[in-house]
Amino acid sequence: MFGSLLDGLSEQERSYIHLLVFIAQTDPSVHFAYKENWLHNLTDKVLLYDLPKKEMEHVIGLEQTGNSREKGLFDYTYLLKTCYAQGADHIAMFEDDIVALDGWYHRTINGLDIAEKQTALRKASLDFLYLRLFYTEEFLGWNSEEWKTYLFWSLIVTAAVATSLASLRLISRTAKKAMTPKLLVAVFAIYLPLSILLFFAAGRVTVLPLPTGVNEMPRYGCCSQGLVFPRDSAKLIIDFFEERKLGYVDMLIEEYADAHASTRWALTPSVIQHVGRKSSKGDDYGEASKYKMTVAETLWNFGFEENDVGELRREHLDAIQRYSS
């Protein structure tokens, strides 16, 4: 994770980042990286638990019992509060099972600027909940709860084709002769239904892909591998998490956003990729697993893999030159 986030950054870009890495073990020495010099050299601070005795005993108990729903939320809140205390305008939260592309920083900064402008145009305010740096297209397909929308547009297409053919028959004698009843039956009973089925079979990401840039993603955004919170939004999430105390981070963030009609943005394509194999939720081979892979292994951004290393580097160098001039 650290190598890909820091690799290729200019000195100026690195100076804008205050990098905290949280060792979420009550005994940090059990973490393989804690005693490594590179960890302390690369980061601005290695964060450890600094809690009152009673609270520390509670965290130790959570660790020993494997209560990930409470400890995971506590850890995320603890790190977010520490970052908030630094006074930064934006807080980027990364999980440790990711890799970042060359140029993630300048794309993120540009994305934040676009998100603020788009939010202001819609709400007369700069406030949005987060900018998502990772999502999986797995959940952006055809969703069963939207079947009425799909049916509506299928009927619209059918009506449009019918209207077009009827108009042609009225204005053109040649078309009227060519469009025999048998042909019309074949069009509406065979060709048109097959075309609609082919459209859906091709997949939503194929036929209706998200445009490159910043897109609103009010639903189906997954997961919490990389999120950037504006400062005010971070405080709202901290308060909400401290109130709830129990739950999964990604699900609670979306719950809060739904309850408060918060605006959520996502960078397309993702600037980070998920490479983890195990889920903190523990259900590695649950109903969502497929292809003999764990649930975590299916959380993948396909657009990320289409990046060209050389093009990314050239884009990043151009951005560095623009910002430094």
Same domain, 201 and 214: no
pLDDT number for residue 141: 76
pLDDT number for residue 180: 83
Q: Where are the beta strands (DSSP E) in 98-171?
A: 98-100, 130-132
Q: Could you say which of 164, 188, 207 is where a domain stops?
A: 207
**CATH number of the domain within which 114 lies:** 3.90.550
Same domain, 189 and 231: no
pLDDT number for residue 79: 98
Q: Are 257 and 264 in contact (CB under 8 A)?
A: yes
Q: Per-residue pLDDT for 282 more than 60?
A: no
pLDDT digits (tens, 9 = 90+) for 315-325: 999 999 988 77
Model pTM score: 0.85
Give me the number of domains the chain comprises.
Answer: 2
pLDDT number for residue 277: 66
Question: Could you tell me which residues come within 8 angstroms of residue 301 by beta carbon, excluding any fewer than 6 positions away?
Answer: 134, 135, 136, 137, 269, 270, 273, 274
Domain of residue 96: give its range. 2-140+210-324
Better pLDDT: 286 or 203: 203
- Give mean pLDDT, residues 50-70: 94
Same domain, 60 and 123: yes
Q: Per-residue pLDDT for 2 more than 80?
A: no
Same domain, 249 and 131: yes
Same domain, 65 and 177: no
Same domain, 195 and 250: no
Task: Round to the nearest angstrom and report the end-to-end CA distance of the chain.
Answer: 30
At 100, the pLDDT band (50, 70, 90 cuts) reads very high
pLDDT number for residue 296: 67
- Give mean pLDDT, residues 75-98: 96
Q: Above pLDDT 90, what percent of the chain? A: 61
Same domain, 124 and 265: yes
Same domain, 165 and 113: no
Q: Per-residue pLDDT for 150 more than 90?
A: no
At 98, the pLDDT band (50, 70, 90 cuts) reads very high
CA–CA separation, 106 vs 40, rounded Å?
Answer: 25
Q: Is 87 exposed, middle or buried (0-12, 13-18, 19+ CB in 10 A)?
A: exposed
Same domain, 100 and 249: yes
- Give mean pLDDT, residues 252-267: 95
pLDDT digits (tens, 9 = 90+) for 291-303: 566 666 778 898 9
Q: Could you say which of 176, 191, 207 is where a domain stops?
A: 207
Same domain, 110 and 179: no
Same domain, 122 and 163: no
Average pLDDT, the chain: 89
Q: Could you say which of 161, 177, 207 is where a domain stops?
A: 207
- Give mean pLDDT, residues 85-111: 96
Q: Is 145 exposed, middle or buried (0-12, 13-18, 19+ CB in 10 A)?
A: exposed
Same domain, 135 and 249: yes
